């Protein structure tokens, strides 16, 4: 499969496994898993040619390891990013002292007032690497990287989780724990 087709398929798989399983007529279990056989049959019925080998290649190639296979290799789920109601059952974990969040410059004013909100997702997503935060913010415009005092947040009672692919997850980041770069610009 060429890289362009692989990206297109990976995006569609993210859509199905995180947001709209009903698009291909499947349901996820409570922890977000689906039987691979059922998924492939459903995808093929909806005009998406993919076999087990192709799926395995796609899972391996995902730059952010977006998808996880069950230990027995029979089921698959997205590791994070859901809007459908699932409980991924990650154990709480102490975060490093600082984590990063990349956002487009135009959201910064609202974030100063409200902190980081999870909006449609189940959690606010934070990364350990600044470079990752830049990439996330750049998806929608000029990226501003916020530094989050996550150690301090944890000591004040906030619970953190880490997804199978290394994304840090938390319910909300109140503004007092956010360091904003200065000056921030609204230019896009």
Give the contacts of 46 (CB within 8 A, at least 6 positions apart): 23, 24, 25
Measured from the CB of residue 45, what is the shortest distance to ligand HQG in angstroms? Answer: 25
- Backbone φ, ψ for residue 135 (5° rounding): -60, -40
Q: Which of 75, 122, 125, 162 binds ligand HQG (CB under 6 A)?
A: 125
Within a 13 Å sphere around the CA of 136, how many CA atoms are in the beta-carbon half?
A: 19
* Contacts of the segment 183-186: beta carbons below 8 A, 24+ positions apart: 184/105, 184/108, 184/144, 185/105, 185/142, 186/105, 186/106, 186/108, 186/109
Site residues for ligand HQG, 142-161, by CB under 6 A, read none
User: Does residue 111 interact with ligand HQG by CB under 6 A?
Assistant: yes
Q: Which of 71, 119 has the CB closer to ligand HQG?
A: 119
Q: Which of 125, 154 has the CB closer to ligand HQG?
A: 125
Site residues for ligand HQG, 38-67, by CB under 6 A, read 64, 66
Which residues contribute to the site for ligand HQG (CB under 6 A)? 14, 64, 66, 81, 103-104, 107, 110-111, 114, 116-117, 119-121, 125, 136, 167
């Amino acid at each position: 499969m060429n890289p362009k087709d692989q990206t297109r398929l990976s995006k569609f798989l993210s859509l199905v496994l995180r947001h709209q399983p009903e698009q291909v007529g499947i349901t996820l279990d409570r922890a977000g898993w689906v039987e691979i056989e059922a998924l492939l049959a459903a995808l093929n019925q909806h005009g998406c040619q993919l076999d087990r080998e192709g799926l395995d290649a796609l899972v391996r190639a995902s730059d952010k390891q977006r998808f996880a296979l069950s230990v027995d290799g029979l089921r698959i789920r997205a590791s994070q990013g859901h809007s459908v109601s699932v409980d991924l059952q990650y154990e709480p974990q102490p975060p490093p002292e600082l984590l990063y969040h990349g956002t487009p410059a135009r959201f910064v004013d609202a974030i100063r007032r409200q902190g980081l909100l999870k909006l449609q997702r189940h959690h606010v997503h934070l990364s350990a690497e600044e470079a990752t935060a830049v990439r996330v913010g750049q998806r929608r415009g000029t990226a501003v990287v916020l530094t989050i005092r996550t150690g301090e947040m944890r000591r004040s009672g906030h619970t953190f989780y880490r997804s199978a692919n290394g994304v840090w997850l938390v319910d909300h980041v109140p503004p007092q724990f956010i360091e904003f770069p200065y000056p921030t610009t609204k230019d896009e």
